[in-house]
Amino acid sequence: MALTSEQRAEIEAQRSEPQLTSRPTVAAMENLLFTPFEVLDHGFLRVVDYMGDDGAVVQAARVSYGRGTKKVSEDAGLIRYLMRHRHSTPFEMCEIKFHVKLPVFVARQWIRHRMASVNEYSARYSILDREFYLPAMDQVAAQSSSNRQGRSDALDADTAHQVLEILRRDASQCYDDYESLLNPEGRGLARELARINLTLNTYTQWYWKIDLHNLMHFLALRADPHAQYEIRVYAEKMIEILKAWVPATAAAFEEYRLGAFTLSAGMLKVVRRRLAGETVTQENSGLTKREWSEMAAVLDGAS
């Protein structure tokens, strides 16, 4: 279980008495507030606050479009239109704030998304807990030979056990020495120095706040199969939350982003030729082998 009972009690204590508000409120999100979703072996994700709903997207778009659209278009249709034509500013009008516990190496990928606000637990100021990420057995995988930045199949059980044993031993040793370095009765090293001894799988936590447009951009990249598994599981959990929060926007996002495919100019020519009845091969397609196989995987279900 990712959360200790102490952590659960601390989160629970933050729950305030429900109060009346005239702000847009989403019943499904109220149920999610203060509920930590477990991710990986010690991580979690929970919604701390949110602003706006599908209606707030529409409301903002209609200011920019004026009174005219009110008659002609209902909300979901307008949201689909905005998404299809990449009119992204109305989606910036909603905001969400998460409390996330995640390994440092995941945090390092995550922070690359600059259009967000973040406050991280400071290891200069406080002492980190003895918690580090160890992959589940089926995630202890070999280097991919086809994809230089990906993983392949799981290693055999024996090897995986050895790997996990090494990871556990080194992280433990480093944490033991971190504590020993810090000990004010002993060496009393400054926290900002002692922490440099920790391994990259150590857990950290932060508050992370982002608008709906930038959240979807983050999710499109991090829920992608090419993203590293350990960040993808956070992104997938967030997509579930997205569906609860802004169902019409989430549906349009799946239709026009997650489930979409962009044909390059060259691919477009190939599709036109094929639709006109011509048989096209990679050799006469004008595409590289890699482009050809990427397209074939999507259009013909080949891989």
Residue 232 annotated as catalytic = no
Rounded Cα distance between 279 and 269, Å, is 12
Residue 151 CB, nearest approach to a copy of itself (Å): 4
The interface with a copy of itself within residues 110-169 (CB under 8 A) comprises 111-112, 114-115, 117-122, 124-127, 133, 135, 139-144, 148-152, 155, 159, 162-163, 166-167
**Token representation of residue 57:** 């997207």
Q: Is 232 exposed, middle or buried (0-12, 13-18, 19+ CB in 10 A)?
A: middle
For a copy of itself, which residue of 171, 219, 238, 248 counts as binding (CB under 8 A)? Answer: 171
92 contacts 211 by C-beta, under 8 angstroms: yes
19 marked among binding-site residues: no
The interface with a copy of itself within residues 63-82 (CB under 8 A) comprises 63-68
For a copy of itself, which residue of 7, 37, 197, 232 counts as binding (CB under 8 A)? Answer: 197
Torsion of CA 56, 60, 66, 67, to 10 degrees: 10
Residue 161 CB, nearest approach to a copy of itself (Å): 11
Using CB under 8 A as the binding rule, whether residue 36 contacts a copy of itself is answered as no
85 marked among binding-site residues: no
Using CB under 8 A as the binding rule, whether residue 247 contacts a copy of itself is answered as no
83 contacts 256 by C-beta, under 8 angstroms: yes
Using CB under 8 A as the binding rule, whether residue 275 contacts a copy of itself is answered as yes
Using CB under 8 A as the binding rule, whether residue 33 contacts a copy of itself is answered as yes
62 contacts 70 by C-beta, under 8 angstroms: yes
Q: How many residues are present in the chain?
A: 303
Choice between 45 and 60, CB closer to a copy of itself: 60
Among residues 168, 222, 257, 290, the one annotated as catalytic is: 222
Rounded Cα distance between 74 and 79, Å, is 9
Please enumerate, by residue number, every residue annotated as part of a binding site for dUMP. Answer: 109-112, 120-124, 195, 222
Catalytic residue positions, numbered:
222
